[in-house]
Amino acid sequence: MVGIVLVSHSASLAEGAAELVGQIAGGARVVPAGGTGDGRLGTSTDLILAAIADADQGAGVLLLPDLGSSVISARAVLADLGDDPAGTRLALADAPFVEGAVAAGVAASIGADLAAVARAAEEARDARKL
């Protein structure tokens, strides 16, 4: 199953979104990577790397950043790891954080591949609320 890493500036936001996805798409492995190592707002490449390792179940890992520098941090991790680190396929989604996480979690929970999980997250951008 595809794993999902939620990269946020806030540990609480990443943990809350992961909890929400877990309740909606129970079978998905969603790992938060929020805040810095010392609990401040920001992003941490070390936390992202640890989350990737935790989320990896062999079918790839989707990284979903919240905004700004979390995208830069996720891209830095991807650049450092290269295209295929230790056999883990990685993708970065350009998607709304919460809606994209839910859509990706649902897709992952039904066994979609990495490309389909990323596509589901990105298509959530077009979901209207009203």
**Which residues are marked as active site?**
9
59, 63, 77, 125 from 43: Cα distances, Å: 25, 13, 11, 23
Interatomic CA distance for residues 42 and 36, integer angstroms: 5
9, 98, 129 from 91: Cα distances, Å: 19, 17, 27
Report the first-to-last Cα separation within the chain, whole angstroms.
32
